[in-house]
């Protein structure tokens, strides 16, 4: 399967594309030794992703994160305290790069 066919086979809603973009951009803004997993916190004030080295919280919905996992763009697991964590897989970075290319140059 070529890149166009692979990318075209992944349907994401706008919120899911935006969340993936924020995760990839956030991760890329850090030195390699500070790239780490995002921890999902669902509190009464709203759900968000926390990253140990990013100074901001990313608003996120559990359903959007699970869709990104199901599509193979994120990896997930559970931290020792039981909170879910997420990290961007190579396929997520690849999808983001293609999404960005198509939006800028119409690839």
CATH number (domain holding residue 55): 1.10.10
For the stretch 45-66, pLDDT in tens is 788 998 887 777 888 999 999 9
Considering its fold, how many domains does the chain have in total? Answer: 1
Strands 58-59 and 38-43: unpaired
Q: Which domain holds residue 77?
A: 3-105
Residue 2's pLDDT is: 55
For the stretch 18-39, pLDDT in tens is 999 999 998 888 888 888 889 9
């Amino acid at each position: 399967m070529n890149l166009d066919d692979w990318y075209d086979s992944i349907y994401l809603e706008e919120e899911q594309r935006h969340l993936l973009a924020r995760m990839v951009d956030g991760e890329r803004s850090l030195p390699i030794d500070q790239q780490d997993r995002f921890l999902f916190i669902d509190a009464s004030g709203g759900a968000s992703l926390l990253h140990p080295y990013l100074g901001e919280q990313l608003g996120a919905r559990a359903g959007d994160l699970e869709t990104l996992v199901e599509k193979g763009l994120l990896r997930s697991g559970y931290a020792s305290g039981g909170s879910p964590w997420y990290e961007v897989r190579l396929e997520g970075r690849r999808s983001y790069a293609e999404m960005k290319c198509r939006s800028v140059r119409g690839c």
